[in-house]
Structure 1
């Protein structure tokens, strides 16, 4: 089993996105799903060795359902066009997410549109020491991998309680604090893909630690 087989399955599923087809190919689905879970288990062990603050998360705990939630999104197809997984899972921590799909593949981490309490905590940390976050974001190795924060809606003015001329107003106006690194399907099918994921995780660590400290301190 390999990622090439996983992509083949997703392409066929996308062409036959219905329960009847899935029922006929249930064994194949479990085969590629088990492959991805085992790959995640290996990655989980390796990440735990390089990050003392890492929360162990098995592949079964990490992997998301392939079914779309049609109750809330009735216009979506029955099944997703990707496998997704969240590792380093712990309540209150920023996300670390892997997305392997036929239309896009990427790693992402941080807080995407967090709840008000979490967002307020991040803004308070920036108000207190935004220079630390800016130093992380401006580091060349960080920019080479992530470029900048994930683009999302921003406030048109300053958040309540902060002056418009705040020295970190460009950060304070953000509603999300997340980064993303894309991968091609070719990269994912290469033998060193897992090591590339680990390298991206390492570079993301200071960013996620800053945010995690902001929402827990």
Structure 2
């Protein structure tokens, strides 16, 4: 993976997000996309060493579309300015599809690498299942979050979109109510890719994903 070339391509695209520029630079895109697919293929193999459940994830399906759906895009051009992928045991990327817990990462036009693990905005039925599990016993989640490597790499759960009040049917007096108020169960970290080689990028991603595994495993245990 030519990391610097990818960052440069995305930076240029962010300034020229139109079909004419993209058509002229499509050979660059095609090569970078192929390299990105190879990286995701290698990541699936590497993750499978500590999480065999993802071994059959299709790398092509793990990649997110690069073309933006202009029916729903309120701003920006026809192309996303990130290369992104989500690796799951189900092979489905999006929580709305029932993808379940995921290993996610993207590289953006600012040269930033975001690495995440968990479930972001799961659908209502899945969110209820997680909350009911927490109501019964939150020990598993707390143990996962106390994992030394997870805590060092990611800190704690992100609280984006957290409810101000307890969800319907849950007592505000529950000791774990602050966890139950969450709408996502995900950790992430963001760093610059400046100076990273392709090999170093792969190594960093695998290390981060391994550290996210305790949370992934706990979420996957909830049926």
What is the TM-score normalised by the length of structure 2? Answer: 0.89
Please give the per-residue CA displacement for 1:123-158, whole angstroms capped at 9, x wherever unaligned: 111112202211221333222111111121222222
1:117 to 119, 125, 134: 125
Tell me the residue number matched to 1:153: 161
Q: Mean alpha-carbon deviation: is it higher for 68-77 or for 119-128?
A: 68-77
Map 1:132-143 onto structure 2 (within 5 A): 132-143=140-151
Measure how far apart 1:28 and its partner are. Answer: 1.2
Tell me the residue number matched to 1:77: 77
* Alpha-carbon distance in 2 for matches of 1:167, 1:209: 23
Tell me the residue number matched to 2:109: 102
Measure how far apart 1:190 and its partner are. Answer: 6.1
Which one has more relative contact order, counting CA pairs under 8 Å at least 6 apart?
A: 2
Measure how far apart 1:188 and its partner are. Answer: 4.0
Please give the per-residue CA displacement for 1:30-54, whole angstroms capped at 9, x wherever unaligned: 0111111111111221222222222
* Alpha-carbon distance in 1 for matches of 2:171, 2:134: 13
Measure how far apart 1:118 and its partner are. Answer: 0.5
* Alpha-carbon distance in 1 for matches of 2:89, 2:169: 32
What is the TM-score normalised by the length of structure 1? Answer: 0.91
- Number of equivalenced pairs: 215
Residues 58 and 116 of structure 1: CA distance in aligned 2, closer, same or farther (over 3 Å): closer
**Residues 1:26 and 2:33 are matched in the alignment:** no
Q: Mean alpha-carbon deviation: is it higher for 78-87 or for 149-158?
A: 149-158
Please give the per-residue CA displacement for 1:78-133, whole angstroms capped at 9, x wherever unaligned: 21111011112514421221101123321112121111100100011111220221
Contact 1:55/1:88 (8 A) holds in 2: no
Tell me the residue number matched to 1:169: 177
1:144 to 152, 155, 174: 152
- SS for the counterpart of 1:150 is coil
Unaligned runs of 5+ in 2: 91-97
Q: Mean alpha-carbon deviation: is it higher for 155-164 or for 115-124?
A: 155-164
* Alpha-carbon distance in 2 for matches of 1:93, 1:190: 28
* Alpha-carbon distance in 2 for matches of 1:17, 1:28: 15
- SS for the counterpart of 2:138 is helix
Contact 1:96/1:110 (8 A) holds in 2: yes
* Alpha-carbon distance in 1 for matches of 2:175, 2:20: 57
Measure how far apart 1:55 and its partner are. Answer: 3.9
CA-based RMSD = 1.8
Unaligned runs of 5+ in 1: none
* Alpha-carbon distance in 1 for matches of 2:196, 2:79: 22
